[in-house]
């Protein structure tokens, strides 16, 4: 099974998968995700956690997949590609669903879906906190077998200056994932926050040691700050480049309400997930990872299933060499197994 997966992923990648990677975003830990979505639990423990035996042994072919943060479709299209090759007779009955809060991503995914003629792929512009509501509204009777959250910012979002996510490009300090229905930008947060709130944002969401000092400077200069370069220069006058990353992260989390949305999204996804289904989450910083870890541990203690990743799975050195964005990624997976 492992050799077959490796062959499909590394040797038989279609033009579709390569196109998605090159243009929009490189999917992180794709091979590991395929393993955790298709291997039986016992096989997974043998491969990844040999000292952690598991008694549950479920072998089934999942048929309904949801990518709640579809982005450029790197994971989604690769799952479709893999499924076509490994389960060709079952493919017409499989359903793939992609959600994203970013309208740019939704337009991109729709173009690719039409281009490749994938009739069993459905794309929705939606926040993952509304995943159960969406399934109710589209009158979809079946529950998904596999649900993925990939919480990273896409290369597409970072490379466009107007989106304001990156301090390497000069642009308006926007940072909204949803530029259509989301009213306030990160610049609005800067302009409207009092000193206490700004310090709290930097300390809680950026885990910034110099939060008080940087917050005071931002508060004093908030009317003069207009672009990402203005903010970057201000931070560098006080601290180093790591502080710049932490401050940008903190503002992004604040403007998108990311941590609260993640808590809600995990609960909603778990309730929607089919029994014996799997929920996979890829995080990129400790705040997200802590929320996922605590949620999975709680579900296991409540007898709702098993954590399939006693420790988070991380990218291989080879992957990190080819994609530096993968170095901070952590994959955690939960098997829903409620006895009915």
Domain ranges of the chain: 2-157+258-336, 158-256
Instruction: Flag the least confident range among 12-26, 132-146, 198-212, 220-234.
Output: 12-26
Of 70, 247, 96, residue with least CA distance to 173: 247
Q: Is the pLDDT of residue 6 over 70?
A: no
**Rounded CA separation 148/35 (Å):** 13
- What confidence tier does 186 reach under pLDDT thresholds 50, 70, 90? very high
79-88 per-position pLDDT tens digit:
999 999 999 9
Cα 211 to chain centroid, rounded: 27
Do the Cβ atoms of 14 and 73 come closer than 8 Å? no
For 26, 48, 80, 198, 211, the CA distances from 319, given in Å and listed in that order, are: 10, 17, 21, 37, 33
In the CATH hierarchy, which fold is given to the domain comprising 2-157+258-336?
Rossmann fold (3.40.50)
**Rounded CA separation 270/292 (Å):** 12
Q: Is the pLDDT of residue 91 over 50?
A: yes
268-309 per-position pLDDT tens digit:
999 999 999 999 999 999 999 999 999 999 999 999 999 999
For 46, 66, 75, 279, 324, the CA distances from 305, given in Å and listed in that order, are: 19, 19, 25, 11, 33
Do the Cβ atoms of 333 and 279 come closer than 8 Å? yes
Q: What is the pLDDT of residue 93?
A: 92
Averaged pLDDT, 255-275 = 97
Give the chain's mean pLDDT: 90
**Rounded CA separation 128/133 (Å):** 10
**Rounded CA separation 17/131 (Å):** 26
Of 289, 313, 309, residue with least CA distance to 151: 289
Q: Is the pLDDT of residue 39 over 60?
A: yes
Q: Is the pLDDT of residue 57 over 80?
A: no
In words, the CATH class of domain 158-256 is mainly alpha
Q: What is the pLDDT of residue 340?
A: 55
Q: What is the pLDDT of residue 276?
A: 94
Q: In this structure, what DSSP letter does residue 227 have?
A: B
**Rounded CA separation 307/298 (Å):** 10
Averaged pLDDT, 103-115 = 92
* Widest Cα–Cα separation across the chain: 64
């Amino acid at each position: 099974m492992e050799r077959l997966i490796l062959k499909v992923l590394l040797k038989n990648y279609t033009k579709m998968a390569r196109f998605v990677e090159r243009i929009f975003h490189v999917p992180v830990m794709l091979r590991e995700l395929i393993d955790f979505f298709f291997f039986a639990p016992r096989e997974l423990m043998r491969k990844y956690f040999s000292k952690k035996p598991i008694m549950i042994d479920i072998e089934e072919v999942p048929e309904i997949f949801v990518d709640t943060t579809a982005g450029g479709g790197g994971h989604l299209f690769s799952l479709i590609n893999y499924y076509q090759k490994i389960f060709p007779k079952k493919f017409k009955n499989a359903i793939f669903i992609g959600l994203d809060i970013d309208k740019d991503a939704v337009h991109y995914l729709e173009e690719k879906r039409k281009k490749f003629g994938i009739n069993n792929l459905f794309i929705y512009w939606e926040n993952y906190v509304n995943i159960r509501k969406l399934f109710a509204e589209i009158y979809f009777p079946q529950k998904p077998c596999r649900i993925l959250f990939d919480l990273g910012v896409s290369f597409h979002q970072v490379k466009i200056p107007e989106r304001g996510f990156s301090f390497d490009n000069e642009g308006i300090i926007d940072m909204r994932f949803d530029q259509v229905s989301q009213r306030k930008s990160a610049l609005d947060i800067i302009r409207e926050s009092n000193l206490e709130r700004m310090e709290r944002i930097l300390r809680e969401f950026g885990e910034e040691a110099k939060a008080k000092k940087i917050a005071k400077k931002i508060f004093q200069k908030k009317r003069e700050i207009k672009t990402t370069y203005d903010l970057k220069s201000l931070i560098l006058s006080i601290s180093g480049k790591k502080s710049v990353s932490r401050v940008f992260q903190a503002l992004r989390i604040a403007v998108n309400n990311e941590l609260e949305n993640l808590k809600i999204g995990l609960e909603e996804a778990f309730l929607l997930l089919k029994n014996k289904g799997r929920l996979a989450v890829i995080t990129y910083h400790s705040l997200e990872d802590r929320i996922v870890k605590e949620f999975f541990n709680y579900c296991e203690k409540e007898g709702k299933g098993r954590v399939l990743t006693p420790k988070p799975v991380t990218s291989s050195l080879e992957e990190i060499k080819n994609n530096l964005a993968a170095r901070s990624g952590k994959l955690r997976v939960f098997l829903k197994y409620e006895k009915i």
